[in-house]
Structure 1
Amino acid sequence: MDHSNIVSMFEMMDTSNKGTISFVQYREALKTLGLLTADEVLKDDGHAVTLDKFRREVCTHPASPQAPARRL
């Protein structure tokens, strides 16, 4: 995914301009992008997701549900 598209998607979810999105928003973005299947479970670490983390996860999101990038 193009860098500008990742930033745009993040900014649409970060409506309060805090520089972070919630885990729920992150999970829904992955579903929207087709990077998360219905049977996959992500672990919520309790921290908000920053743009850098979002970009890193989306850009390196592997196809395997067992891959470490899928676990926050």
Structure 2
Amino acid sequence: MDHSNIVAMFEMMDTSSKGTISFVQYKEALKTLGLLNKDEVLIDDGHIITLDKFRAEVCIRPASPQASARKF
């Protein structure tokens, strides 16, 4: 995914401009991007999600086959 798209999505979720998003927002973003399998369970480790962490996670997760199909 393009860096500017990752930043744009993060900024849309960070409505208070604190530089962080909640775990729930993070999880929903991964679903929206097709990077979270519906059967996959993420566990909230209690740490805040920063842009750097969000970017790293988005870049390492493979897109689901359904996400690829939605592109067409």
Larger radius of gyration: 2
TM-score (norm 2): 0.83
For structure 1, which runs of at least 5 residues remain unmatched after alignment?
Answer: 64-72
CA deviation profile, 1:22-67 (whole Å, cap 9, x unmatched): 000000000000010111100100111000000000011146xxxx
Identity percentage over the alignment? 83
CA RMSD of aligned residues (A): 1.0
**What is aligned with 1:66?**
none
Q: Distance in 1 between matches of 2:26 and 2:57?
A: 10
Following TM superposition, where does structure 1 have runs of at least 4 consecutive aligned residues deviating by more than 4 angstroms? none
- Note if 1:21 corresponds to 2:21: yes
Q: How many residues align?
A: 63
TM-score (norm 1): 0.83
Q: Distance in 2 between matches of 1:15 and 1:44?
A: 21
**What is aligned with 1:5?**
5
